[in-house]
Structure 1
Amino acid sequence: MVGFLEFGVRAVAIGVGATFVMDLWAIFLKRCFGTPSLDYAMVGRWLGHFPQGRFRHSSIAQADPVPGERILGWCAHYAIGITFAALLLAIWGLDWARHPTFFPAVFIGVVTVVAPFFIMQPGMGAGVAASKTPHPNIARIRSLAAHTVYGLGLYLSALFWALLT
């Protein structure tokens, strides 16, 4: 039971920290380069249509708005970050969280780009790996960079919590 509790606490702490690092990266890109960030209200809108059995849209921006879509999207963003942190811990174990190393965290971060490429982007109308966007390769590079930064955030968050405990 103690291991399960530690797993959950570390997954939440590391996942929230890593997702926050990813958000800081998005703020940096927006302020310094004018690079637009993902609108999490659109993620919430996409998810908000799930209960009606609607998982795919030609354009999520043109889909009917969902009450509370912005908060739903932001909550999902952090819940997904926690879930991927839990995946990291499930593969590399709690010992990794107690003594974090760089490679597993960045590896998981890079691998997580599969989710937006093959689930979220097609479901929101952007096509597989942003193939239906005006500049697919730029969108792909941005996604890969953001998820690599998330991986760095996994490492830094785990390191922070390992030093704290």
Structure 2
Amino acid sequence: MPELSEPSTTLYQILAIGIGATLVMDVWAILLKQLLNIPSLDYALVGRWLGHMTKGTFVHQSIFNASATRFEKAIGWFSHYLIGVLFAGGLVAIVGEDWLAAPTLLPALLFGVATVIFPFFVMQPCFGFGVAASKTPKPMNARSKSLLTHAVFGLGLYLTALVIL
């Protein structure tokens, strides 16, 4: 039976992997913007959404028309990285701590793609974009971009785990 690592070591690894994978995803978004002029999600909108939750509003007709909230950009970016760390913890919870000692691509990639469930069925509907961006001008483009971005996040989980070994 493999020896389990110290809980604090595992938590630090999850923290590093989550931050690293989110950073890989952000570099991908920068490349899309610079090379193909494809914009990324403005994380201030995530902060705005969370800010309105404190006032009891969870679903918006259009998040763009919702009033700005205090520190929305900082809250959005912090939440973006926190979610990345939580997802990294979810991967480790599902595949087990042994993966941290010998990471493999397939579980990380599949998990990354599976995380697209959250924007498709939670964030996009709450932002007023519809389920899986159904109310956006080009739903298939939005869906494809989300799926690819979450696959890149999965690749980032794997690559970061390799780097911190």
| Normalised TM-score (structure 1) | 0.96
Q: Does 1:39 align with 2:42?
A: yes
Q: Does 1:27 align with 2:30?
A: yes
Q: Deviations over 1:14-60 (max 9, x none)?
A: 00000000000000000000001100001100011111111000100
Structure 2 segments unaligned to the other structure (5+ residues): none
**Which has a greater percent of helix?**
1
Aligned-pair CA distance for 1:2: 5.9
Equivalents in 2 of 1:44, 1:17: separation in Å? Answer: 21
Runs of 4+ aligned residues of structure 1 deviating over 4 Å after TM superposition are none
Q: In structure 1, the residue corresponding to 2:76 is in which secondary structure? A: helix
Map residues 1-165 of structure 1 onto 2, 5 A cutoff.
3-162=6-165
Aligned-pair CA distance for 1:7: 2.2
Superposition RMSD on alpha carbons, in Å? 1.1
Q: Deviations over 1:82-124 (max 9, x none)?
A: 0000001111122101110001100110000000000000011
Q: In structure 1, the residue corresponding to 2:54 is in which secondary structure? A: helix
The answer (yes or no) to whether the contact 1:7–1:89 under 8 Å persists in 2 is no
Identity of counterpart residues, as a percentage? 53
The answer (yes or no) to whether the contact 1:57–1:63 under 8 Å persists in 2 is yes
The one-letter amino acid of 1:149's match is V
